[in-house]
Structure 1
Amino acid sequence: MEQPALRHGDGTAVPQARPSFARRWLRRLLWLGVLLAVLPVLQVLALRFIDPPFSSFMAIRQAEAWIGGERDFDLYYQWRDLDQIASSLPVSVIAAEDQNFAKHRGFDLDAIEQARAHNASGGRMRGASTISQQAAKNLFLWGGRSWVRKGLEAYYTLLMETLWPKTRILEVYVNVAEFGDGVYGAQAAAKRHFGKDAGQLNAGESARLAAVLPSPQRYSASQPGPYVQRRAQWIQRNARQIGGESYLETLK
């Protein structure tokens, strides 16, 4: 019900005070904050059921190619459901990147502490990002080490761990991870590097693909140098130690 206008004793209307400039902008900022908080929830909830047609990293790489005049650059990306990908690949990725994937809720605190202690000792910089964090970054964000990006990564990671089952996080990650310059996801990687479908990969090929993930534009799975060969062997040993393909049965 509309409130009656206030009036002076002589019957004239009392002028209504307008919100101050500062208050109007504060209100707008509050609405912007609500929007920025809700939008990621809608994105993550939608992509639990909809397979992403592309990722943020793909869009950024394509834009870089256009700006840089790389006229012959093409992105390679084909979605495959997890049950269409050889089990050895997601197991290899877990063995290489995040052996506590089934246990943590997005952040591996033990790995973070180990990385902090290692980096403080002056050794080669080591990260502690989980598969969930990497999936969030690749799908929604951009590279770099800014606090803004890390904060958004943490928020998206929490949302994904809350709204998605572990199998969906793993499925999305192996489909959007970069396995070579412009080569994204298991199917494109299997085709580009080994000339076969992702469902036909063997354990050795899967380990080599997982081995290049730290620097997919620097290393090659199809023409592995000494580093990739050593890392692939290490990944295969770790994959056996965590239970091999039966590890996937522990995911929910």
Structure 2
Amino acid sequence: MRLILRILKLTVILFVGISLFMVILYRFVNPPVTWLMITRGFERKSDGKDWKIDKKWINFDDIADPMKRAAVAAEDATFLENHGFDFKAIEKAIDNNNKKNSHKLVGGSTITQQTAKNVFLWPGRSYIRKGFEAWFTLLINIFWSKQRVLEVYLNEIEMGDGIYGVEAASQAYFHISAANLNKSQAALIAACWPNPIKWTPDNPDNHIMHKKYLIIKNMRRMGPLDF
């Protein structure tokens, strides 16, 4: 029993130390690759496709303001005010998902939570992963600025089959840099995020066009982002 407790204690200490180191490191160093990118790469290979990770980093100041506003309007309206978690959104999502006639799971994750998941964790859904997500969200909220969170989020998010980040997406779908995105293009990119494999900005259906309209409407309500 003592040996087991020692091993457990050492495991916890190592995990806390490594996770702290990685979060602080990525405050200054751009994450080179994520578990999702690697997983998707192997999925492509198993489907007989070439390995593909199309990812081009763009600094926060170079990203067009409409893209930053569209991300907040689409994913996390309280981003600048919350401390990594939006408990009202989480409660609303739980209530919706518990309804018997609800056929679609609704998420309540903030941009900070999604960044924690995208950068530090593996794809999938489980209570264990949610626990790790909460831990990394807490660390990110302590050690990163809101500007850094949004910068990493916009550079790591999945945007299509083998496409990651708004710079690669902007070039792939609109043949321009993310620095030059207008309000309509930015909202269209953000509208596809829930399922970027199914939906892409270059072939939007009525559902995506309606989401784009709602995002632009929310952008007007938000006012300027004050970092």
Q: 2:158 aligns with which of 178, 192, 195?
A: 178
The answer (yes or no) to whether the contact 2:42–2:51 under 8 Å persists in 1 is: no
Which residue of structure 2 aligns with residue 53 of structure 1? 32
Which residue of structure 1 aligns with residue 12 of structure 2? 33
Which residue of structure 2 aligns with residue 154 of structure 1? 134
Q: 1:36 Cα deviation (Å)? A: 1.0
Q: Distance in 2 between matches of 1:115 and 1:27?
A: 39
Which residue of structure 2 aligns with residue 242 of structure 1? 222
Q: 1:164 aligns with which of 139, 144, 156?
A: 144
Q: Distance in 2 between matches of 1:143 and 1:25?
A: 30
Which residue of structure 2 aligns with residue 203 of structure 1? 183
Structure 2: stretches of 5+ with no match in the other structure: none
Does residue 23 of structure 1 match 2:15? Answer: no
Does residue 89 of structure 1 match 2:58? Answer: no
Which residue of structure 2 aligns with residue 15 of structure 1? none
Q: Distance in 1 between matches of 2:207 and 2:159?
A: 16
SS class of match (1:52): coil
SS class of match (1:152): helix
Which residue of structure 1 aligns with residue 90 of structure 2? 112
SS class of match (2:3): helix
Q: 1:75 Cα deviation (Å)? A: 1.3
SS class of match (1:237): helix
Q: Share of identical aligned residues, percent?
A: 37
Q: Aligned AA for 2:80? A: A
1:88-115 alpha-carbon deviations (Å, 9 max, x no partner): 1111011001001011111101111111
Q: 1:64 Cα deviation (Å)? A: 2.6
Q: Aligned AA for 1:70? A: G
Which residue of structure 2 aligns with residue 98 of structure 1? 76
Which residue of structure 2 aligns with residue 143 of structure 1? 123
- Give TM-score scaled by structure 2 length: 0.95
Q: 1:143 Cα deviation (Å)? A: 2.1
SS class of match (1:48): helix
Q: Aligned AA for 2:63? A: I
Equivalenced residues, count? 225
Q: Distance in 2 between matches of 1:64 and 1:38?
A: 32
Which residue of structure 1 aligns with residue 167 of structure 2? 187
Q: 1:42 aligns with which of 6, 15, 21?
A: 21
Q: 1:179 Cα deviation (Å)? A: 1.1
Q: 1:25 Cα deviation (Å)? A: 3.8
Q: 1:217 Cα deviation (Å)? A: 0.3
Q: Distance in 1 between matches of 2:6 and 2:94?
A: 40
Structure 1: stretches of 5+ with no match in the other structure: 1-21
Q: Aligned AA for 2:189? A: L
- Give TM-score scaled by structure 1 length: 0.86
Provide runs of 4+ in structure 1 moved above 6 Å. Answer: none
